Amino acid sequence: MKGHVWRPLLVVIGLVIIILVARMFYVPEDFGAQDRGYTFGYHRLSNEQEWKDYPAKYQDSEYCSGCHDDKTEELNAAQHGMIPCENCHGAAFDHPDDPEKLTIDRSRDLCLRCHSELYMPSSGRNDIPGVNPEEHNAGLECVECHNSHNPSLEEM
Amino acid sequence: MKRRDFLKNAAVFVSGASVSLGALELLDPRQLLAANPELRWGFLVNTHNCVGCGFCVKACKVENDIPLEANVTRTWVERYVITKDGDVVMDTPKGALNGFTSKLIDQNQSGMKQVDDEEIAQAFFVPKLCNHCDTPACVQVCPVGATYQTKDGTVLVDRKWCIGCGYCIMGCPYGVRFFHPVEHVADKCTFCYHRISNGGNTACAQACPFGARQIGNLRDPNDPVAKAVMNQRVGVLRDEYGTKPQVFYIGLNKEVR
């Protein structure tokens, strides 16, 4: 064959070799078809561990009971007993080390998530006593009158 | 074409076509259970219990570092109001990050709509999240092997490998994928893989005061989720896509899309 055929051909072959070598270094060893085969499992295996090591933010209500046992007892005995502490006080992270204190949310919005009156006959929302936010003591924080941990109307 | 050839070809075509139809066969949880004895994460949503407080959405965003005010979320809650005339009115303000506190239903361009209580036949909430399908469409379309399914069934995204092409976001029939505003890669629910793999609960299920959300091992016959999936009348979303979703719903309506 003539030079004008060989020269570009060599360039192409050279390029292919460079790409293959680069790929060898670039693609990690654990990359490939794993348990779920080529269609669903083609990935870098170590990424699974990376996701497992993702830092968690939420503890749980049991964690709080170690130190705030008075609050836990009060809450558990009351109508709000099923609400996890961290829903109202935010994720614990490493509390009490970091942050030292958790937030205390006294906003009406917090309570209205459940207590704003909606007519939802095919859901549990209808079993929660609702108030109309525009009429029920508008402008005042709910916790000025209600105890958020023990909301019993009798003990107000 | 000869008559004999025609019949032969027809027979081949019909048997071939029935095989691919067979691949779309309804998912039978019992079959799955028998096929693999170890671990397959599944999720159960009881829509009757959901009150639309949105604590799950908030917990998910905080746990997984999705900016609270960004207009994307890994899980959300939809409100359905079905009138006595059969109209379906639906909304999900900010994905229900702050719950549902108003009777006004957001209808986008056509503004806010209020349905009178007397007009309402049914009204309920439906939490949505990634279905961690058994045959995930989003994984199949990924050109670089950045999104994949683990052995235990969760569908994850490799953030170092994702090139942000967006195919998976378009490919998901459930619209659960989005572009992460900070990481600049495709993002989705991981079933809180870091929590469930270390013995914990998902952030959303833990935050739910009413037990509307539950994660479990579908391969363990004593697992409450596996039991409910086997013994109760559960439904899945968009079964017709053949993706075999693994989030099961109690109390699903045909109006829910």
| Per-domain residue ranges of chain A | 56-104, 106-156
Q: Which of A32-55 are b and which e, b meaning 16 or more Cβ less than 10 Å from the residue's Cβ?
A: eebebeeebbbbbbebbeebeebe
Model confidence pLDDT, tens digit, residues B202-211 = 999 999 999 9
**CA-CA distance, B146 to B164, in Å (whole number)?**
10
Q: What's the confidence (pLDDT) of residue B22?
A: 46
CA atoms within 13 A on the CB side of B133: 24
Q: Do A87 and B63 touch (CB under 8 A)?
A: no
> Helix, strand, or coil here: B108?
helix
| Ramachandran quadrant class, A43 (left: phi over 0; alpha: psi -120 to 50; beta: rest) | beta
Q: Which residues pair with B123 in a beta bridge?
A: B81
Q: Which two tokens stand for residue B46?
A: 């009881």
Q: Work out the pLDDT band at A117, boundaries 50, 70, 90.
A: very high
Q: Does B126 touch chain A (CB under 8 A)?
A: no
Q: Between A and B, how many residue pairs show a Cβ–Cβ distance under 8 A?
A: 150
Q: What's the confidence (pLDDT) of residue B11?
A: 75
* For residues A104-131, average pLDDT: 96
Helices and strands counted in chain B (H then E): 8, 13
CATH architecture group of domain B3-52+130-250: 2-Layer Sandwich (3.30)
CA distance B1 to chain A (A): 38
Is the link from the previous residue into A121 a cis peptide, with omega within 30 of 0? no
DSSP type of residue A102: -
Would you say the ipTM is above 0.85? yes
Name the phi and psi angles at B249, rounded to 5.
-115, 130
Residues of A in contact with B148 (CB under 8 A): 34, 36, 40-43, 47
- Name, in order, each residue with C-beta under 8 angstroms of A31's C-beta and a sequence gap of 6 or more: A43, A44, A45, B145
Domain regions of chain B by residue span: 3-52+130-250, 70-128
Q: What's the confidence (pLDDT) of residue A34?
A: 87
> Helix, strand, or coil here: B121?
strand
* B48 to chain A: closest CA residue: A123
| A81 and A73 Cβ atoms separated by less than 8 Å | no
**CA-CA distance, B85 to B75, in Å (whole number)?**
30
List helix spans (H) across B24-84. Answer: 29-35, 55-63
Q: Look-up: residue for tokens 């067979």? A: B22
Q: Which amino acid is at B252?
A: L
To the nearest whole percent, how much of chain A has pLDDT over 70? 99
Model confidence pLDDT, tens digit, residues A39-77 = 999 999 999 999 999 999 999 999 999 999 999 999 999
Q: What Cα–Cα distance (Å) separates residue A25 from each residue in A19, A20, A28, A41, A48?
A: 10, 9, 7, 22, 21
Residues of chain B short of pLDDT 70, as ranges, are: 14-37
Q: Do B55 and A52 touch (CB under 8 A)?
A: no
Q: What is the pTM of this model?
A: 0.90
A 75-134 → B contacts, CB under 8 A: 82-84, 86-87, 90-91, 109, 112-114, 116, 118-125, 128, 133
**CA-CA distance, B33 to A68, in Å (whole number)?**
43
Q: Does B103 touch chain A (CB under 8 A)?
A: yes
Q: Do B148 and A87 touch (CB under 8 A)?
A: no
**B70-128 — its CATH code?**
2.30.30
Q: Do A47 and B198 touch (CB under 8 A)?
A: no
Q: What's the confidence (pLDDT) of residue B39?
A: 94
Q: Do A121 and B193 touch (CB under 8 A)?
A: no
* B100 to chain A: closest CA residue: A113
| Ramachandran quadrant class, B39 (left: phi over 0; alpha: psi -120 to 50; beta: rest) | beta
Q: Does A43 touch chain B (CB under 8 A)?
A: yes
Distance of CA A118 to the CA centre of its chain: 27
**CA-CA distance, B192 to A66, in Å (whole number)?**
25
